[in-house]
Amino acid sequence: MDKVAVIHGCVVARATIAAVFSVLLAACGGDSEPQSFTVSVTAGNGGSVSPASRSVQSGEKASFTVTAEPGYGIASVNGCGGALTGNTYVTSAITAACSVSASFNVTLPAPQNLMVTKANGQLSFSWDTVVDATGYNLYYDLEANINPVNYSTTNTGVLVQNVTSPYTLTGLDNGVVYYAVVTAVVGTAESIASTEVAAFPEEPFVAIGGLNDTGISLCADNDNNNLDCPVAGFTGSDAEHGRDAQARAGNLVKIGGGEAGFDFSKIGSNGQVLATQNIAWDDNGSEAAGSKWSCVRDNVTGLMWEVKVNDGGLHDKAHTYSWYNADASSNGGDAGVQNGGQCSGSECDTAGFVLAVNQQGLCGAKDWRMPTELELLGIVHNGRENPAIDIGYFPNTPSTSFWSSLPTAIDSDDAGSVGFNSGSFSRFSEKSSSGSVRLVRAAQ
């Protein structure tokens, strides 16, 4: 006799339980296949995700391997409620079709310490090696603010690919300022640009050579100074010898200008000799007008000097610094005192100031240093005082002592300095004391 049965919520009448059991299970979904969903994947430039997709049963999780190409890193991975651990992305339990997306960013760092050396019709560039980089791109232009991302060869710019440091551009125009940046490359990855540099090709400058004279161009007797030379009975005075005497006689040919036997040239912020050299300094002036300049080249010694300003910035005339040098091979056994002066824009010690000026690239150069005592004495003008210097080229010079790079042999706590009130030479300035600083570099 037929019976009525209820199986998994299904009512079955007039059927034998044994005959229809499997049919009833199928009708109620009891032994149907589990539902599956597709997890798809998208990957941005710079990497990949594997596998490209997965078919996952309802309630299960899916895992993917995320791989960045050389020079790239994983920026983000999201979708399907998952999380990234290392380079493995695991979704949450899948209940519907969904998508995982991955993006990558360039991790290759920009080249550091881009330097440029100028010569006749050419510029040579060098920079620090970037780990993992396989090459470098050099971008240069006649206009500043080069941006490789929006770079176009339809303007005045040029892209030179796959170069190595050092690299020399030839066939350039002397006196024309070129701007340049360098990027590092590996595979399809290109770093952001280095700090931009600017320089102009020129024939190498040849200094006159020798030492500067004292600047004394007048004579004296037993009772009076500043007398016209010669003075009867007092021959052989300082003013009757050397470059100063030649200048007084009108026989000294100069590259630039300056009082007595001095020969200086005013240099602009990009390292170029200013076209106008005969305009006096003006705190509100400009390099274009020739009434402001950043450096002075001594055409006798070939040294280039920092110029002080009156604007409260890095090169302000009122700033003072303690003497500090961490190099045990050159500090005389005592490093001195850090940050012991009063300044802005740098640590207020000699080493901190040198670092800040080189990071700035004053007059297009990054090899500025502390001067020796003899180098400082070379720009002392003994025919003047308060300050004892040619103020037509070195404005804003305080009548104070300027630090030299040299410690003293007498006392490790002291360092040498030169006073520009009267051009005196002192070997007994304590490193902890505050003094002025004027940086120097070897001219091109």
Q: What CA dihedral angle connects 361, 365, 369 and 371, to 10 degrees?
A: -120
Instruction: Place 207 in a pLDDT band, splitting at 50, 70 and 90.
Output: very high
Give the pTM. 0.71
Residues 178-191 have a mean pLDDT of 94
What is residue 378's predicted lDDT score, i.e. its pLDDT?
Answer: 96
Residues 403-428 have a mean pLDDT of 87
What is residue 409's predicted lDDT score, i.e. its pLDDT?
Answer: 83
Q: Which of 9-23, 111-125, 201-215 has the lowest mean pLDDT?
A: 9-23
d(CA 396, CA 121): 36
Residues 7-29 have a mean pLDDT of 43
Give per-residue pLDDT as tens, 238-294: 999 999 999 999 999 999 999 999 999 999 998 889 999 999 999 999 999 999 999
Q: Strands 414-419, 424-430: parallel, antiparallel or unpaired by DSSP?
A: antiparallel
Strand partners for 123: 118, 169
Say yes or no to pLDDT of 203 above 90.
no
Omega prior to 166 cis, within 30 of 0: yes
Residues 44-50 have a mean pLDDT of 95
What is residue 298's predicted lDDT score, i.e. its pLDDT?
Answer: 98
d(CA 140, CA 125): 11
What is residue 157's predicted lDDT score, i.e. its pLDDT?
Answer: 80
Alpha-carbon distances, residue 280 vs 138, 274, 393 (angstroms): 39, 13, 9
Strand partners for 441: 304
Q: Which of 2-11, 161-170, 367-376 has the lowest mean pLDDT?
A: 2-11
d(CA 402, CA 94): 74
Instruction: Place 155 in a pLDDT band, splitting at 50, 70 and 90.
Output: low
Q: What percent of the chain has pLDDT over 70?
A: 91
What is residue 236's predicted lDDT score, i.e. its pLDDT?
Answer: 87
What's at 212, amino acid-wise? Answer: N
Instruction: Place 426 in a pLDDT band, splitting at 50, 70 and 90.
Output: low
Q: What value does the mean pLDDT of the chain take?
A: 90
What is residue 282's predicted lDDT score, i.e. its pLDDT?
Answer: 97
Residues 419-438 have a mean pLDDT of 88
d(CA 208, CA 399): 29
- Phi, then psi, of 356 in degrees rounded to 5: -65, -40
Say yes or no to pLDDT of 1 above 50.
no
d(CA 91, CA 98): 10
Residues 175-188 have a mean pLDDT of 92
d(CA 80, CA 206): 71
Say yes or no to pLDDT of 23 above 70.
no
Q: Strands 98-106, 36-43: parallel, antiparallel or unpaired by DSSP?
A: parallel
Give per-residue pLDDT as tens, 302-319: 999 999 999 999 999 999
Give per-residue pLDDT as tens, 333-376: 999 999 999 999 999 999 999 999 999 989 988 899 999 999 99
Residues 174-200 have a mean pLDDT of 92
What is residue 29's predicted lDDT score, i.e. its pLDDT?
Answer: 47
Say yes or no to pLDDT of 156 above 80.
no
Instruction: Place 11 in a pLDDT band, splitting at 50, 70 and 90.
Output: very low
Say yes or no to pLDDT of 235 above 90.
no
